Structure 1
Amino acid sequence: MKEDLALMERALTELHPGLYRYNTKEEFARKIADFEAKLNEPLREDRFFLLTAQLLSGIKCGHTYLNPYNQKKEIFERLIGRQTYIPFHFRFIDGFFVITENASEFDLPKGSAITSINGRTVDEIVQGLVSVSTADGDGTTLTRLRSVDLSRENGASYAHFDLYFPIFFPLDRPEFEIEAISYRSKEKVRLKVPAMTKQERTAAMEKKYGKTPGYDEGWSFKFLKDGTGYLKIDNFITWKLSIDYKRFLADSFSRLKEAGATDLIIDIRNSDGGDAGVVTELLRYLHKDPFSCETGIRTFIRTAKADPELLKYASVYDQDLKAALLNGVPKDRYKPAKNGLLEFLNGAVACPETEPYADRFDGDVYLLTGPDNASAAFTLAKRVKEASLATLVGRSTGGNLNGFNGGSYLFFNLPNSGFEFDIPVFAYHPADSSQAKDSGIEPDVNAISTASDAGEAFDRTLDKTLRLIKEKQAR
């Protein structure tokens, strides 16, 4: 395990362009030393996994983590392939785990507030889970808290809670002792509910609530009762869509134009990023005049040439990227920067202006945002707000105005544990970092959900947006 930690330290210090964005060299060295001290005694596999996740979380980069989708199947079978899954979906609101769906046989209705699990308070559980969460910077606490939520979508794949709760708080037996406040009776209840396997919970949820939504179901368009258009985009993961997203958007905006709609709501609250092409495509329907790519962003890399012995542990999607790091980036493509990185000159190349579409929307636009919005979703919110293309309603986004790391990735496999972690290759910084704020994009209008909203199936953000439209129309 010490060999794995040494490799991880070397990969991060030699290749990660954002390692010292929120940590000094001394701070990161202390974290490595603290981790190494814990390796003087034998560690269980799950404990080493947890400590690794905490080290990577402390880098404060939303793209640096133990990627659940890239772990070996046999490792996850050992870590979370057992009967350790709680039979609920919930949201963390007002200090409670507020139930949104219940796959157990017990009568704990939607909106009921869990106060403890197996004797652990919600605050204690959240504190642990946040320590292994991913987000950009120090000012994105909402994003870290949001990662605690357990939903239909992440529950069927790899939910943060499912992975880390049984590592932080191992189950003595396959059951959960739940203390909660019933939404219906308002009385305190104590239950012992059987734990499930992942497959059992997914099957029970689908039997009770219908099939788990896929990527295609995350894209929808309809007209609300007042004639407002409602475009919902839960993901920018276009490579996993079976629909043509550009055709979908073209059809949606064509329908808006035909109907003479004056108001449009674009809901991206559940999107944590993906294809940047979605950003450009949407902007072509919102901009009135030709527009350029995002300006004021500088691109950096940590090194122009990597050690082949180090890269033999890394895999990539883009083989050209690995070849460039092995052979060396040409010297005319970068220059040394004062921040200790190399400024990648390709990142400063001006892009041609993009023409708006003929079916561009001429009415008032409302963009619904939230703490899940990182990467490309953050970029959309940022560009929309900067150009005053919409009123932002909801909560602060993820991502960070200080910039973030991403673009292309190295997927490192540790030789002894077999764990995989992601390292982004490029760091994006605002041209004037002195003016940058360590936070996401703040909405123009805040909408904060309460615990009772889940019980009433009440969408406070959407309701507030519709009220804004109604008030505008009444003037």
Structure 2
Amino acid sequence: MRLTHIFLFTLFACSLAAQPVTDTLQTNVLQPADMQADFRYFRRLLEETHPGLYRYTPKPVMQAKLDSLAGTLTKPMPFYDFFRTIESLVADIRCAHTHALPAKNWESLFNSHWKTFPLFMFPIQNHSYILFNGTANETIKPGFELLRINGHSMEAIRQRLFRYHWDDGYIQTSKQAVMQGQLFALFYYWFMEQPDVFHLTLRKLTGDTIQVDVPAQPFTTSLRFYKKNPVNKQMIGWYGKNAKHPWRLSFPNDMPRTALLRLDSFGGEGAKNSDEAVVLFRAFMDKAMRQLAKKGIRNLIVDLNNNPGGWDSQGIELFSYLMKSDSAAAYYERQYSVTDSSEFIQFSDLSEQDRKNVKNELIPESDGTFTLKQGDVGRGPRRYLPKPNRFRGQVYIFMNGRSASTASEFLAVAHANRVGVFLGEESGGAYEGGNGGSFIHLELPHSKIYVGSPLLYYHNAVGEVTKKGRGTMPDYALDITIDDVLNHTNSRLDFVKKLILEN
């Protein structure tokens, strides 16, 4: 999708100057009339504009759920209880591009107001390991496994947080994101509890268990200790830096005629629109194709692990550089909206010119929906020719539950067209497609909860889908290991190297 809502932050992107203050939302009590008004407003937004509101839940069932939730708003309620009510509804839509946040300025509040969990956690196979220690306590080291927080087992915490995370369909791998890093700190604060101290049970690298207390603190304080605490030095050296460019092509020394293409995102590198995104990505890929040809590369590994998406057009471009067939192929079967005139469109990310042109871009259908025009072909689907300079060798594609949005669309279409071998875990977006394109963002009038929802329903050109609401499945299921993290190794890449040699 063109935009995506990602809350896995860059470690060192936040200012360290903010001073902690009180979270006033903790003492905010909402009155029934205000909550009911906000709920009606949000419900109308969903019913008028959300194209996937009934994608996984039949309309009568969803309407009954909405009625039931509305009936619970009869007594004064603490702010965070009402927020959890809204968030539970969001999660039940089963759309990775629909969200609710406590406030529009949530990032500033997280940095300086909210006192949250100070350790950066990393989930592996339903275990939670410490990657960075955000306290002054040097007893807690990277690689320690977190077993309990304030008497809550990690399994109980996991199930609670999973309940509120927004994901496509029935995909579980994408929910693992909520157990990592800053997102874990946020979700624990929003949906578990807001203590001043965390009583932890940890398993050391030796296997012994220890009890440790750590303070709840603003993220800026934790970030400061990520850098200062000497126990983090090695992990920061390996994982605390960001690549200068999101797209990189490399040639492993121990793998003859093999290249590795890493795509951190389809973010466009500064592109302001889809056309600019295409120009930038095409320039990168054309250069990459020349390098592959010059070096006689026969095997290309495409790494889309943790790629959150971005511009649709860049995903389509990547597909056209890897297609096996000489014939043109469709990428989307159909994209459609359920409105061409809702007043909520004024809150969308569409430009003023695009808003005025909405009716010209949408084709009315007999069922009340509106098909997005596919360029000159009208209803579509538009078909894309393979690039003349495309890569014609063997392709291996890495993916995981955080390969989402545009990345998951590419994975689905590439899988359906047998572009290569898929490795890792189930992708984070539904194989048949999700919802996205452009988005509406607004504050609910009274509570000021900040919500976002998509305007387009995506139907990927992947043929008949037998398991609706599931992601692209790997040909080889591969997991990262804690040894990989602690030793800075890559067992998944080693597997692919072996696979290439065998083939």
TM superposition score normalised by structure 2: 0.80
Matches within 5 A, 1:77-226: 81-82=112-113, 84-104=115-135, 105-138=137-170, 140-144=171-175, 146-151=176-181, 155=182, 159=183, 161-173=184-196, 175-183=197-205, 185-207=206-228, 208=233, 209=236, 212-214=240-242, 216-226=244-254
Check if 1:462 corresponds to 2:493.
yes
Matches within 5 A, 1:392-403: 392-403=422-433
Taking only the aligned residue pairs, the percentage that are identical comes to 24
The alpha-carbon distance between structure 1 residues 381 and 9, as it changes in their structure 2 partners (threshold 3 A), is same
Letter in 2 for 1:3: A
Distance 2:351 2:242 in 1: 26
Letter in 2 for 1:351: R
Distance 2:354 2:488 in 1: 47
Check if 1:351 corresponds to 2:382.
yes
Moved more, 412-421 or 204-213: 204-213
Distance 2:361 2:502 in 1: 58
Letter in 2 for 1:257: A
Check if 1:31 corresponds to 2:54.
no
Distance 2:494 2:464 in 1: 37
CA drift at 1:214: 4.6
Distance 1:7 1:436 in 2: 36
Letter in 1 for 2:480: S
Check if 1:412 corresponds to 2:420.
no
- Secondary structure of 2:262's match? strand
Distance 1:272 1:216 in 2: 17
Unaligned stretches of 5+ residues in structure 2: 1-34
- Secondary structure of 1:279's match? helix
1:323 matched residue in structure 2:
356
Distance 2:247 2:361 in 1: 43
- Secondary structure of 1:58's match? helix
2:74 matched residue in structure 1:
40
C-alpha contact 2:334 2:380 (8 A) present in aligned 1: no
C-alpha contact 2:149 2:198 (8 A) present in aligned 1: yes
Matches within 5 A, 1:254-333: 254-287=290-323, 290=326, 292=328, 294-295=330-331, 297-306=333-342, 308=343, 310-311=344-345, 314-323=347-356, 329=359, 333=363
C-alpha contact 2:412 2:460 (8 A) present in aligned 1: no
Matches within 5 A, 1:232-247: 232-240=262-270, 244-247=280-283
CA drift at 1:352: 5.7
Distance 2:82 2:111 in 1: 15
CA drift at 1:302: 1.3
TM superposition score normalised by structure 1: 0.85
Distance 2:360 2:415 in 1: 37
Number of aligned residue pairs: 449
Distance 1:229 1:427 in 2: 35
CA RMSD of aligned residues (A): 3.0
Distance 1:222 1:406 in 2: 32
Letter in 1 for 2:412: K
Distance 1:221 1:447 in 2: 22
2:477 matched residue in structure 1:
446
Distance 1:2 1:452 in 2: 51
- Secondary structure of 1:176's match? strand
- Secondary structure of 2:46's match? helix
Letter in 2 for 1:319: E
Distance 1:226 1:8 in 2: 55
Distance 2:319 2:96 in 1: 24
CA drift at 1:370: 0.8
Distance 1:137 1:263 in 2: 33
- Secondary structure of 2:77's match? coil
Distance 2:497 2:129 in 1: 25
